[in-house]
Amino acid sequence: MTMSQSTAALEPSNHPVPRDFRHHHAIIGAGFCGLGVAAAFQRHGIPYHQFEADDDVGGNWYHGVYQGVHIISSRKTTEYTDWPMPADWPDFPSAEQMLTYLHGYADHWNLRPHIAFQTRIEHVRPFGEDRHRGQWELTLAGGERRIYGGVIVANGHHWHRRMPSYRGTFAGDIIHSKDYKHRGMLAGKRVLVIGGGNSACDIAVEAARSAQSAHISMRRGYWFMPKTMFGRPTVEFIRPWLPVASQRILLKALIRVIVGRYRDYGLPHPDHNIFERHPTINSELLHFLRHGRIVPHTDVDRYHGHTVHFQDGTAAEIDLIICATGYHVSFPFVAEEVVEWNDSGMPNLIASLLPPQYKNIYFFGITQPRYGAGPLISAGAEAVCTAIDTQKRLKHPLGAVLERLGATAPTTWLRDPHEVMRTMKRSQAIMPQLPQVEEQLMGPKHPGQVARAFVAMAPSILRDTFGRRSEQPSHR
Ligand SMILES: Cc1cc2nc3c(=O)[nH]c(=O)nc-3n(C[C@H](O)[C@H](O)[C@H](O)COP(=O)(O)OP(=O)(O)OC[C@H]3O[C@@H](n4cnc5c(N)ncnc54)[C@H](O)[C@@H]3O)c2cc1C
């Protein structure tokens, strides 16, 4: 299909019969993740259409963050591997720079002509009676229906607000951190931020500078790390070859030297080991706590008018509460039967990507790396291309085959980026070999089945892992 034909296909239609694009994939979302997948599809010649609800690319970095925010992961650990950020940019670029970067990426890979902007996907469901055919019916805003040969869901996970609830009634305003946009919203107000993660601490620091008074309430202890150590971004300090146990010992020792005890700042000691939850990377919170410009509190107990009572019996007068209490991951437009959720609220997506019962649908970018997203998006997008190619040669859904080989669904949103990279490298080598062992793997289960499959695949995996030169597209 030529470019102009492809672009024309993006125009909405009122046709009553679903339009047939079963040789195309649909990418839902043109944020950091969706753009990375689209670029990989361009490189691999996979025909696709991309749908974006907003009027431009960039997702969270276009419409989702407050003025003045800077990334907490560093420039080098956040850029895509196929498009570097300018070398003269700072270690921690601003939201504006992130958006400029994503615009540059979209232009570099000529992604815009393939994106239908202001086109929200309202519904995605398996097409036809036989779900194993792996075709998908999409309903666009406006009602048009289309059939696609595959779908990549890249709708982001920083929009479905998680709000806490406490006893009593609060007489001031309560908003989620997603709805905090600029410092003007804080001026002259007594502000309480609930939470201890990265957004909570960033906003508490903004309040320390702009509000009448600034408070922060945390229900547990967090690991707070400075943004830089020894003059380098902290996230770059951790080397991939260093085992997690050693990373923990090293970081704890450095925090003890640089920060000291959290209790000396009025904060509880963390109730979990470092990296078991998302670390909070912020150099200014502790500074402002020490200067008395942010007052720390325990969890909220109840509200009464403008008074917020805390669990330790203290209270504060507050005008504005900002809940930096995180997000739910959800795909509200995907037919309910496609993704099963367990009791802990985690989706049954094998390798954090594939529902085991369905073919040709990929949920992209649902986990949170401990550092920047770009390198994982680039590697993940390549893995999706390999998965698409592999699925064509399999009878069963790829997720089901990988599950038989021992791949699992995530048990936590937070992932060690180095481990994810290693897993993706292994999967890239294993996936192309799966068709040759599919029958063996998917037959009745018996001991040694998986081991024999690995032995059968071993020569090809070794050749692919160590014998192939990686092909990186040229940088700008
Ligand atoms: C305050 C803050 C700070 C952060 N700091 C960092 C950082 O330092 N480093 C880092 O790596 N990450 C950071 N992040 C995480 C950030 O979300 C990711 O960098 C990145 O934006 C995720 O990209 P995404 O494409 O998955 O989601 P998004 O950027 O949210 O993009 C999803 C896109 O999908 C579109 N969409 C959704 N549903 C539909 C639909 N039904 N139809 C069509 N389009 C749809 C949306 O409009 C949106 O454009 C931060 C997040 C926040 C909130």
pLDDT tens, residue by residue, 378-391:
999 999 999 999 99
Cα(293) to ligand 1 centroid in Å equals 31
The residue among 177, 185, 186 whose CA lies nearest residue 214 is 186
Q: How far apart are CA 369 and CA 376, in angstroms?
A: 8
| Domain parsing of the chain, residue ranges | 3-159+328-466, 167-323
Per-residue confidence (pLDDT) for residue 470, from 0 to 100? 38
Residue 319 has pLDDT above 60, yes or no: yes
**Structure token digits, residue 267:** 């904060």
Contact 366, 352 (CB under 8 A): yes
Mutational test site, ligand 1, from 48, 155, 283, 322, max ligand atoms within 8 Å of CB: 155
Using the predicted structure, report yes or no on whether residue 322 has a pLDDT greater than 80: yes
Judge whether residue 123 has pLDDT over 80: yes
- Residue 63 makes CB contacts below 8 A (sequence gap 6+) with 54
Estimate to the nearest angstrom the gap between the alpha carbon of 423 and the chain centroid: 17
Q: Which of 117, 131, 139, 138 is nearest to 34 (CA)?
A: 117
**pLDDT number for residue 3:** 43
Strand partners, 134: none
Would you say the CB of residue 70 lies under 6 angstroms from ligand 1? no
What's residue 453's pLDDT? 75
Q: Which two tokens stand for residue 119?
A: 């086109």
d(CA 140, CA 120): 6
Number of neighbours of residue 457 by Cβ within 10 angstroms: 19
- Residue 457: band (very low, low, confident or very high) from pLDDT cuts 50, 70, 90: confident
Ligand 1 geometric centre to CA of 71 (Å): 13
Span from the CA of 208 to the centroid of ligand 1 (angstroms): 27
Rounded average pLDDT over 260-271: 94
The mean per-residue pLDDT over the stretch 110-123 comes to 98
Which residue matches tokens 């019996």? 313
Would the pLDDT of 468 be above 50?
no
Spacing, Cα 154 to ligand 1 middle (Å): 9
Output the pLDDT for position 45.
Answer: 98
* Helix and strand element counts for the chain (H, E): 13, 24
* Number of Cβ atoms within 10 Å of the Cβ of 398: 29
Q: Express as a percent the part of the chain with pLDDT over 90.
A: 76
Q: What b/e string do you get for 141-154 counting C-beta neighbours within 10 Å, with b at 16 or more? A: eeebbbbbbbbbbb
SS3 461: helix
Question: What backbone phi and psi angles, to 5 degrees, belong to 173?
Answer: -100, 145
Distance 61 CA to ligand 1 centre (A): 7
Residue 467 reports pLDDT greater than 70: no
Q: Is 24 helix (H, G, I), strand (E, B) or coil?
A: strand
pLDDT of residue 5: 47
**Residue-averaged pLDDT of the chain:** 91
Predicted pLDDT at 12: 73
From residue 474, how far is each of 75, 109, 154, 325, 428 by CA, in Å? 19, 11, 25, 41, 21
Distance CA 359, CA 340 (A): 15
Q: In this model, does residue 465 exceed pLDDT 70?
A: no
User: How many alpha carbons lie under 13 Å from residue 82 in its C-beta half-sphere?
Assistant: 24
User: Which pLDDT band, with edges at 50, 70 and 90, does 369 fall under?
Assistant: confident
Pick the CATH number of 167-323 from 3.30.420.480, 3.40.50.2000, 3.50.50.60, 1.20.120.530: 3.50.50.60
Check if 288 has its Cβ closer than 6 Å to any atom of ligand 1.
Answer: no
Whole-number Å distance, alpha carbon 175 to ligand 1 midpoint, is: 20
pLDDT at residue 10 in the model: 79
Distance 63 CA to ligand 1 centre (A): 9
217-226, 368-377, 451-460, range with the lowest pLDDT: 451-460
**DSSP label at residue 287:** H
- Tell me the CATH number of domain 3-159+328-466, given options 1.10.10.10, 3.40.1160.10, 3.30.450.20, 3.50.50.60: 3.50.50.60
Q: How large is the average pLDDT for residues 419-442? A: 91
Q: Check if 340 has its Cβ closer than 6 Å to any atom of ligand 1.
A: no
Q: Given a cut of 70, is residue 291 above it in pLDDT?
A: yes
Cβ proximity of 159 and 64 under 8 Å: yes
Strands (E), 29-76: 48-51
Give, for ligand 1, the residue of 10, 27, 28, 32 to mutate: max count of ligand atoms closer than 8 Å to Cβ: 32
Q: For residues 101 and 10, what is the distance between their CA atoms, to the nearest angstrom? A: 25
Q: 466 pLDDT exceeds 70?
A: no
Separation CA 279–CA 267 (nearest Å) = 15
CA pair distance 421, 400, nearest whole angstrom:
22
Residue 333 in contact with ligand 1 by CB distance below 6 A:
yes
Identical topology for domains 3-159+328-466 and 167-323: yes
Secondary structure (H, E, C), 113-141: HHEECCCCEEEEEECCCCHHHCCEEEEEC
Residue pLDDT, tens place only, 179-232: 999 999 999 999 999 999 999 999 999 999 999 999 999 999 999 999 998 899
Q: Which one has a higher pLDDT value, 14 or 242? A: 242
